[in-house]
Structure 1
Amino acid sequence: MSSIRTTTDEEEPIVTCSELLEQIEDEEEELDRERALYGNCDVDTCTYSQGYVRRQPLFACMTCNNNDQLTGICAACAYHCHVNHEVNELYTKRFFRCDCGNSKLSHQPCKLYPTKDPENILNKYNDNFRGIYCTCKCSYPNKEKKINDDEMIQCIICEDWFHSQHLGVPLPMEENEINQMDIICQACVTKYSFLVNYDESRSVILQSSIDNNVAVASNNSSCLLLSNNNNNTEIHTIFLREGWRKRLCRCVQCSKLYDELNLTSIFDDDDALQEYEKQALAKSENLDADKIIADSLENLGYVRKLEVLHGINEFKKSLGDFLREKANSDDVLTAEDVTTFFTNLKEKRKEQQQTTFIPPDNCKF
């Protein structure tokens, strides 16, 4: 929904306060998404030296890639080495090592870590690195079909992204609640057919009759998967509710199966994207705007510091009062209103300077 409404060319563009607040909230949500994704990143250091990073944001340079030599690059290399290139965001991938500057991208030397092995043999690539997603094999954002409004969901195993309407089964909940569940796509369930018994969308839920941790510690052979198997043979995309990893069977047989299929790390709580985002958000608090301002103020004298802080607080209070007044009246916000607000704020500041004694910077009291 657009926040700017016009009726004729002569009329001034107007915006209601509620629409302005809605736009601000949308921008804050987008900022939180970026903080959750990039909060763990060092945009000046290539992650290559860290080896196959357990989980990190990745990018695919469409300018440098070709269908025969798929590559992925870390956030720092996307920023420093592939500037002005067409770079696609892949969100996060697990156990990947940055390809920037290796034999696949020999024409594009890495500015941050020039000496790299010719190839990262343990890296895994899918169609996402070609800019293709879902079973419909569409690009994202899709420029040809009107499907961009359909939220995309990532399979926790293959890490491909799917449109909710292309999962092969109806959503078991309201579409706006899909972010509260993980999915395993039909292709991965076909590959690991035992997973269908963990589907939590159709009452195919393992009811734990024993403590999994105790079972593992005592090598108890009781298997929740076998004791709760309902002989469901239908293969389809499955949905997993929050905390599903804690409900997995951890008996000796199942643990061995997870190892053999290289699923152990995926079934670990630390692998959860929510856990990654939680840690990233915590780290991004160090980039909080208030902290940046505080660090900048350290170089100012005591008096000037108080002036700046007073000005910031006064601006916040005045803007808040102004927006609340407009919201309560359900009035529209025009360009003239904004100009008047800043003019009044400036005049108020001048009056304060004329009536308030401000000591010089070298004052010791």
Structure 2
Amino acid sequence: MTSEEHTVSLVDVLEEDEELEEEASAVLAGSDSDHCSYPQGYVKRQALYACNTCTPKGSEAAGVCLACSYKCHEGHDLFELYTKRNFRCDCGNKKFTSVQCKLNPEKEELNTGNKYSHNFFGLYCTCNRPYPDPEDQVEDEMIQCVVCEDWLHGRHLGGVVPECVELQEMICDACMSRNPFLWTSAAPLAVPSVGSTEAEVKEENGGGEAAEASNSVPCKDEEAGGPSCKRSRLDSSEPDCRLKEIQAACQNRVQSGAVFWLSGWRSKLCSCATCKKTMEEAELSFLLDESDTVLAYEHKGKTNEQRQQGHDPLMSALDNLNRVQQLEIIHEYNDMKTELKDFLQRFAAEGKVVTPEDIRQFFEEQQSRKRQRVNTGQFYCS
């Protein structure tokens, strides 16, 4: 491999690392790391943590916001819950016997609108196991259900996980079974089962006509070959129910296993008065809200973290170095990357949150070791 190929590889690595950092920070950047979210009430979506030190298994489940995880629970054993919807920070309330919130001490005893699950005790999936699971040697992706927000192993979803799963929302089998009306919506809006033939897909989707007819209903004259008299739903004060159009076609659909939904499926759900009421009674109205998604939340976080437009100064500096200097940087960068990975893995193993102070200390130690290192005059040539 030539030195030129090494140089390109370094640029690619740096760009890839930057992209990964942006994706990771999107989860946190969408939440406030300095102020407790409690005054905002039940926040639409935010990064949450559960403190195993303050509320261990056997006690009442509780969740704390990002800022409280830093300020009130530093050094504690925390479970990272990723994000949850419609949650109000519990830090320091009645569930915490020995901790008072340092950021917002005046809180009600309980947040009755919060919903909890085994996630708050570090357990996930239908197998009720921790993540990472030291006893599970199977490499398997965990996918979050958009309804119950639990994380499930791909092998425990009751079906084949489709490709590009990160772009598709999933509703687990348990949530589908609790809300059987979702199976009707899934007929034209779900990702076709892996291995389905074209004919089976058309039958599953109601022949492909139900989805296309979502904005108009043909009258008898049109069906008989007469002049078109389609009635636009947009002109009607009350939209017709889309589910009725596809209900008969989806009767033969297998109603088991998790369902993966096609991109933009929320905007295509029926929003007639009857379906809205059904959604409200099932506490699923959020499914009609496209901004409810984790992707929308992450996009908000990425937007908050966007750098100023223009060429990255680091990339400009690399272009101006000679090949020997570029190779030396590759060596130093790989060493730093390995040490940083080992450093962060210790926090992951102990379930601790990495604070800005921890990162600052890591780089200070790096600089100290570098100053003490004897210059051997080694060069890396192609």
The TM tier, using the shorter chain, reads: 0.7 to 0.9
Q: Pick the aligned partner of 2:23 from 33, 46, 60.
A: 33
Across the aligned residues of Structure 1 and Structure 2, the Cα RMSD in angstroms comes to 3.2
Change beyond 3 A, Cα 1:178–1:326: farther
Q: Does 1:279 align with 2:300?
A: yes
Q: Is contact 2:159-2:258 (8 Å) kept?
A: yes
CA distance in 2 between counterparts of 1:337 and 1:156 reads 38
CA distance in 1 between counterparts of 2:269 and 2:185 reads 8
CA distance in 2 between counterparts of 1:210 and 1:104 reads 48
**Unaligned stretches of 5+ in structure 2?**
193-200, 217-231, 336-369, 376-382
CA distance in 2 between counterparts of 1:132 and 1:320 reads 48
Change beyond 3 A, Cα 1:164–1:317: same
Could you tell me which residue of structure 2 aligns to residue 222 of structure 1? 240
Partner secondary structure for residue 50 of structure 2: strand
Could you tell me which residue of structure 1 aligns to residue 179 of structure 2? 192
Change beyond 3 A, Cα 1:337–1:60: closer
How far did 1:273 drift? Answer: 1.5
Could you tell me which residue of structure 2 aligns to residue 259 of structure 1? 280
How far did 1:29 drift? Answer: 3.2
TM-score, normalization by structure 1: 0.72
Q: Does 1:112 align with 2:103?
A: yes
CA distance in 2 between counterparts of 1:20 and 1:89 reads 32
Change beyond 3 A, Cα 1:225–1:336: closer
Partner secondary structure for residue 132 of structure 1: coil
How far did 1:201 drift? Answer: 2.3
How far did 1:30 drift? Answer: 2.8
Q: Is contact 2:11-2:315 (8 Å) kept?
A: no
Could you tell me which residue of structure 1 aligns to residue 228 of structure 2? none
Could you tell me which residue of structure 1 aligns to residue 340 of structure 2? none
Change beyond 3 A, Cα 1:109–1:218: same
Change beyond 3 A, Cα 1:332–1:107: closer
Could you report, residue by residue, the CA deviation over 1:188-235 in whole angstroms, capped at 9, with x for unpaired residues?
0000011122332233445141329x6477344632112112203522
Q: Is contact 2:142-2:152 (8 Å) kept?
A: yes
Partner secondary structure for residue 242 of structure 1: coil
Change beyond 3 A, Cα 1:54–1:318: closer
Could you tell me which residue of structure 1 aligns to residue 135 of structure 2? 144
Could you tell me which residue of structure 2 aligns to residue 156 of structure 1? 146
Could you tell me which residue of structure 1 aligns to residue 198 of structure 2? none
Q: Is contact 1:71-1:104 (8 Å) kept?
A: yes
Could you tell me which residue of structure 2 aligns to residue 181 of structure 1? 168
Change beyond 3 A, Cα 1:80–1:210: same
Change beyond 3 A, Cα 1:316–1:85: same
**Unaligned stretches of 5+ in structure 1?**
1-14, 292-311, 344-365
Identity %: 35
Could you tell me which residue of structure 2 aligns to residue 124 of structure 1? 115
Partner secondary structure for residue 138 of structure 1: coil
Could you report, residue by residue, the CA deviation over 1:155-174 in whole angstroms, capped at 9, with x for unpaired residues?
01000011112111012x32
TM-score, normalization by structure 2: 0.69
Could you tell me which residue of structure 1 aligns to residue 257 of structure 2? 236
Could you tell me which residue of structure 2 aligns to residue 47 of structure 1? 37
CA distance in 2 between counterparts of 1:89 and 1:336 reads 29
Partner secondary structure for residue 33 of structure 2: coil
Partner secondary structure for residue 90 of structure 1: strand
**How do 1:306-345 residues align onto structure 2 when only pairs under 5 Å count?**
316-322=315-321, 333-334=330-331
Could you report, residue by residue, the CA deviation over 1:268-304 in whole angstroms, capped at 9, with x for unpaired residues?
112121111112211222xx4x69xxxxxxxxxxxxx
Partner secondary structure for residue 95 of structure 2: helix
Change beyond 3 A, Cα 1:26–1:145: farther
CA distance in 2 between counterparts of 1:155 and 1:184 reads 5
Partner secondary structure for residue 278 of structure 1: helix
The letter of the residue matching 1:319 is L
Partner secondary structure for residue 317 of structure 1: helix
CA distance in 1 between counterparts of 2:179 and 2:75 reads 41
Change beyond 3 A, Cα 1:335–1:247: closer
How far did 1:251 drift? Answer: 1.8
User: Runs ≥4 in structure 1, deviation > 6 angstroms?
Assistant: 323-327, 336-339
Change beyond 3 A, Cα 1:28–1:95: same
The letter of the residue matching 1:270 is S
Change beyond 3 A, Cα 1:208–1:249: farther
Partner secondary structure for residue 32 of structure 1: helix
